Amino acid sequence: MAELKVNGQTVNVDAEENTPLLWVLREHLGLTGAKYGCGIAQCGTCTIHIDGQPVRSCTYPVGALSGEEDITTIEGLSEDGSHPVQQAWVELDIPQCGYCQPGMIMAVAGLLNNTPDPTDEDIDAQVTNICRCGTLARVRKGIHLAKTKKA
Amino acid sequence: MADTIKLSRRNFIIGTGAAGLTIGILASCSNNSEDSAAPDQAANAEPNPEVNAWVHIAPDDTVTIRIARSEMGQGTLTGLAQLVADELDCDWDKVTTEYPTPGENLARDRVWRDFSTGGSRGIRGSVDYVREGGAVARAMLIQAAANQWEVPVGECSVEKGVITHGPSGNKLRYGEVAEAASGLTPPTGVQVKDPSDWKIIGQPVKRLDTADKVTGAQKYGADLQLDGMLNAAIKQAPKRGGTLASFDADAVMSMPGVRKVLQVDDTAVAVVADRWWQAKTALDALPIEWNDGEGADYSSASFETELDNALTADDAAVANMSGEVDAAFANAAQTIEATYRVPHQNHACMEPMNATAIWTEDKCEVWCPTQNGEAALGAASEAAGLPIEQCDVYKLLLGGGFGRRGMSDYVSQVVKIAKQMPGTPIKLLWSREEDMQHGFYHPTTRARCEGALDADGNLTAIKIRIAGQSILAGLMPQALQNGTDPFAFQGLLPSGVDERVEDQTLKYTFPALKFDHAMRNPPVRPGFWRGVNANQNAIYLECFMDELAHAAGKDPLEFRLTYMGDAPQLAGVLRAAAEKSGWGNDDGKSRGLCAFYSFGAYTAACAEVTVDDAGQLKIHRIVAATDPGYAVNPQQVDAQVAGSFVYGLSAALFEEITFENGEVQEKNFDTYNSMRLRDMPEVETIVMPSGGFWGGVGEPTIAVAAPAVLNAIYAATGKRIRNLPIKDQSLRDA
């Protein structure tokens, strides 16, 4: 039994220690915003935040958490979809199939936590998620737009 | 926090629209007399009359437009709604959408027609009848108002869903007359609007399905949760043609959550557990023995030799031949030859294959992301061993399709698992490793290209011998014509010969040409992969045209235009892309061009690259022009065009599926890479619909991505890259 702090709530989950955080979120807590894409921390569609830092949850064992960390998923990024990144994403109509977008948005929100005014080089280095539909050109525009917005 | 979605058995909506609906129940109150699913409607207090098959309108004026084709990111859902809404003259802000089920379609004599979503046909394949559907509904609504007022229809007009009686100024909203309209006999002979009268078609409206995609609320098949549902993970024979010999279920039955280990067909084994992660963990621990079959020795390396031999073999089917080819070569001042190669590639949709099913002795229901709802229904019925009337399929939004989800293998599998556990909902989710190893791959082909130039550098003849796999031979051999596959010649076909592929014809006019195909089929199942054979053929034709231009000492733009005299639209997009990119500019960037016609649309690209001394490629910008005839939603056309460079250039730069001893070697994104932001150039699109025809959008631009970049690399380095992917090759000679 592990105690976790997810989106501001303390929850207890009965999962084997080596269960990746992704599957705890999805299958124990019903938070299906973070997606399964590769299981090896390559594609980024499972990205969530731990203490504000973007983490690929598909390879992060739940047993490695102490219970003190603040875990944030796309469902907890904002109450009403009003996070600057979400606003920018709606304004530029970025998602196509949308499956990778929760992870993309969390990666970008994490980037902006660390680097509020990122350059293209910062973006290239820190946002490495895969999108097969091909939203990448708009994603870059979305990042530059998001950094001008206030929550 | 756990949420279980209660799913209506009849009406399963896709969460879209201004109303901000999320997945759940939207029981529509159909006036169709055959409709007797009353229990599901009991919870629905709000009647939502069906005016006709395409349009429901609620008393609060919410317009629900029913969409037969699948939304997989390409924006068709919004585009189709625009087509109906424009003819309906409703308020776009009140539009939402709903998928009818394939079962309903069959029960209603296929009133929504084709559910299949491929070949860039979602819009252009349904444009006539969905617009007519909107126009008929509009006529019925006006008639209902006129009846209520007891005035002639001709005195009534409508704007944004409000009907006005001119002489009296009386007004009625659509929501007030929908019920009465639904009882009227649909008129015949209703005309659709002239394009000059469009108000919603052609507008860059926002997609209807964005809101839930940025909050995590959008549910995909992989996210589905039904009451009492169990989860299945599957492992299929890793070698081509392999079968399941045995497995030791006892070894994993005591692992956490495991409920059952079972065989699926003679090729796979599945573990069913409380949770998917438990099922996958147990499956990874399960001892399994496989039998080798035909294909166990197959390797990509040895198939190379067979394909090379096929480049000069005699057994080739000629698809396009004209002029005095042999004479042109005999009299040529200069002949050029080059061989290009494209490997197998996987779709790699971000959402791995999945489906959910409940099987009982008299009913089978499936929830799945599919590009072909009716094919999925057929597969479910067959796997269930039940008549098709006792089955149905509830579609969800797709986490990518690209052609892969036109196949129903995963639907069949989940039903076969569910059949072994009657009454229990089962969700089957493939691992990424299964997805990579059991695709329907973009076929490997190669081409030997030959050109003849006269003393003035004019092209006098061109020959392209394609060698390689046929998709039709692998998937639907009954569609072959005298043993040949017309789709192998996408973009290279003669016009006026085969109506099915008239949208895939060659638009250059050459003095003499011969295009043929030596079919060689490896034991690898091929598939329709976004852009299909246009992708390979554009590389062959358009890189070789670049080679010919340079050999002739001519400007690659002018050289191409010389042979586009009969295709002003193709010349138009090429000129537009070249001009906007600054073709001919001396700004330190090297440029490459490509123009191609496929899926009924004209596309062109100009790529701007640099290659540093170490051979490092940087693609700075691509200017892309597209003429799809009409652009229903220009901003979504822009999204598709820009996105095509991600799919097309990921393939050109990185993607290759190889086989050794019958087994796929690239099992995940670590070895089957896809473009990231750092690889992505700026894309500037020029959407230039010239009108008068309906071309595709989702696929045609894929074809121009690789050739434009390959030609730009040559301009930068003087070195031709003729083997794809580029990934491990030196772009500069050592």
Interface of B with A in 214-253 (CB under 8 A): 214-220, 222-223, 225, 231
DSSP state string for B294-311: TTTT--HHHHHHHHHHHT
Closest CA to B603 of B692, B680, B510, B538: B538
> Residue A150 has what pLDDT?
77
Q: Between chains, do A34 and B256 touch, taking CB under 8 Å as contact?
A: no
| Single residue among B429, B455, B474 that ends a domain in this structure | B429
Q: Give a three-class secondary structure readout of A89-139.
A: HHHCCCCCCCCCHHHHHHHHHHHHHHCCCCCHHHHHHHCCCCCCCCCHHHH
Say what percent of chain B tops pLDDT 70: 94
User: Which segments of B573-628 are extended strands (E)?
Assistant: 590-598, 601-611, 617-627
Substitution target in A97, A111, A122, A143 with the highest count of B β-carbons within 10 Å is A97
> Residue B733 has what pLDDT?
77
Which domain range does residue B407 map to? Answer: 221-293+353-429
Substitution target in B213, B274, B370 with the highest count of A β-carbons within 10 Å is B213
Q: Between chains, do A132 and B400 touch, taking CB under 8 Å as contact?
A: yes
CB burial of B17-37 (b: ≥16 within 10 Å; e: otherwise) equals: bbbebbbebbbbbbbeeebee
Q: Report whether pLDDT(B117) > 50.
A: yes
| Residue B583 domain flag | yes
Neighbours of B77 (CB within 10 A): 25
CA–CA min distance B180, chain A (Å): 37
Per-residue pLDDT averaged across B417-443, rounded?
Answer: 98
One-letter amino acid for residue B390 of the chain: Q
| Residue B201 domain flag | yes
Q: Does domain A2-75 have CATH number 3.30.70.790?
A: no
* Residues B406 and B498 reside in one and the same domain: no
> Residue B520 has what pLDDT?
97
Sort out which chain A residues have CB atoms less than 8 A from B222's CB and list them: 32, 35-36
Q: What is the mean pLDDT of chain B?
A: 93
- Interface ipTM: 0.98
Residue B213, both tokens: 């995609």
Tell me how many domains chain B contains: 3
Substitution target in B677, B678, B701 with the highest count of A β-carbons within 10 Å is B677
- The span from the CA of B418 to the CA of B424, in Å, is 7
* Residues B547 and B470 reside in one and the same domain: yes
Give residue limits of the domains in chain A: 2-75, 84-146
CA–CA min distance B168, chain A (Å): 42
Q: Between chains, do B647 and A37 touch, taking CB under 8 Å as contact?
A: no
| Residue B15 domain flag | no
* Residues B135 and B202 reside in one and the same domain: yes
Q: Report whether pLDDT(B195) > 60.
A: yes
CA atoms within 13 A on the CB side of A129: 37
> Residue A1 has what pLDDT?
77
Q: Which residue has the tokens 């500019």?
A: B585
- The span from the CA of B592 to the CA of B556, in Å, is 9
Per-residue pLDDT averaged across B157-184, rounded?
Answer: 98
Q: Between chains, do B680 and A27 touch, taking CB under 8 Å as contact?
A: no
- The span from the CA of B716 to the CA of B543, in Å, is 14
| Single residue among B397, B429, B461 that ends a domain in this structure | B429
Give the pLDDT confidence of B573-620 residue by residue, as tens digits: 999 999 999 999 999 999 999 999 999 999 999 999 999 999 999 999
- Residue B88 host element (H or E): helix B76-88
* Residues B179 and B250 reside in one and the same domain: no
Substitution target in A133, A135, A138, A149 with the highest count of B β-carbons within 10 Å is A133
| Residue B729 domain flag | no
Per-residue pLDDT averaged across B526-547, rounded?
Answer: 98
Q: Report whether pLDDT(B458) > 90.
A: yes
Interface of A with B in 20-39 (CB under 8 A): 20, 23, 26-39
Per-residue pLDDT averaged across B357-361, rounded?
Answer: 98
Please tell me if residue A59 touches chain B, with a CB cutoff of 8 Å. no
Distances (CA, A) of B284 to A58, B224, B254: 16, 23, 14
Interface of B with A in 65-124 (CB under 8 A): 71-75
Per-residue pLDDT averaged across B528-548, rounded?
Answer: 98
Q: Between chains, do B211 and A140 touch, taking CB under 8 Å as contact?
A: no
Higher per-residue pLDDT: B13 or B269: B269
Q: Report whether pLDDT(B74) > 50.
A: yes
Q: Which residue has the tokens 């980037």?
A: A111
| Residue B22 domain flag | no
Do the beta carbons of residue B236 and residue B431 sit within 8 Å? Answer: no
Give me the CATH number covering residue B462. 3.30.365.10
Please tell me if residue A54 touches chain B, with a CB cutoff of 8 Å. no
Per-residue pLDDT averaged across B189-197, rounded?
Answer: 97
Do the beta carbons of residue B127 and residue B694 sit within 8 Å? Answer: yes
| Residue B159 domain flag | yes
From the list B1, B72, B677, the residue facing A97 with the nearest CB is B72
Please tell me if residue A19 touches chain B, with a CB cutoff of 8 Å. yes
Q: Give a three-class secondary structure readout of B320-387.
A: EEECCHHHHHHCCCEEEEEEEEECEECCCCCCCCEEEEEEECCEEEEEECCCCHHHHHHHHHHHHCCC
Q: Between chains, do A23 and B678 touch, taking CB under 8 Å as contact?
A: no
Distances (CA, A) of B261 to A31, B124, B365, B490: 27, 45, 22, 45
B273 pLDDT band (50/70/90 cuts)?
very high
* Residues B510 and B638 reside in one and the same domain: yes
The residues pairing with A47 across neighbouring beta strands, listed in sequence order, are A56
B46 pLDDT band (50/70/90 cuts)?
low
Substitution target in A35, A36, A89 with the highest count of B β-carbons within 10 Å is A36
The residues pairing with B445 across neighbouring beta strands, listed in sequence order, are B342, B468
Q: Report whether pLDDT(B44) > 70.
A: no
Q: Between chains, do A133 and B646 touch, taking CB under 8 Å as contact?
A: yes
B734 pLDDT band (50/70/90 cuts)?
low
Q: Is B228 left (phi over 0), alpha (psi -120 to 50) or beta?
A: left
Q: Between chains, do B210 and A90 touch, taking CB under 8 Å as contact?
A: yes
Q: Report whether pLDDT(B26) > 70.
A: no
Sort out which chain B residues have CB atoms less than 8 A from A93's CB and list them: 206-207, 210, 635-636, 639
**Orientation of helix A136-146 relative to helix A84-91, angle to 10°:** 130
> Residue B483 has what pLDDT?
86
| Residue B25 domain flag | no
Give the pLDDT confidence of B654-691 residue by residue, as tens digits: 999 999 999 999 999 999 999 999 999 999 999 999 99
From the list A77, A86, A132, the residue facing B350 with the nearest CB is A132
Q: Report whether pLDDT(B39) > 80.
A: no
Residue of B nearest to A79 (CA): B215
Higher per-residue pLDDT: B10 or B726: B726
Give the pLDDT confidence of A54-80 residue by residue, as tens digits: 999 999 999 999 999 999 999 999 999
| Residue B20 domain flag | no
Interface of B with A in 189-218 (CB under 8 A): 206-207, 209-218
Do the beta carbons of residue B68 and residue B77 sit within 8 Å? Answer: no
Q: Between chains, do B222 and A129 touch, taking CB under 8 Å as contact?
A: no
Please tell me if residue B575 touches chain A, with a CB cutoff of 8 Å. no
* Residues B319 and B173 reside in one and the same domain: no
Q: Report whether pLDDT(B83) > 90.
A: yes
Please tell me if residue B682 touches chain A, with a CB cutoff of 8 Å. yes
Q: Report whether pLDDT(B76) > 70.
A: yes
Q: Report whether pLDDT(B17) > 60.
A: no
Residue of A nearest to B223 (CA): A32
Do the beta carbons of residue A130 and residue A105 sit within 8 Å? Answer: no
Q: Report whether pLDDT(B700) > 50.
A: yes
One-letter amino acid for residue B705 of the chain: A
Architecture of the domain made up of A84-146: Orthogonal Bundle (1.10)
Task: Note the helical H segments in B150-240.
Answer: 174-182
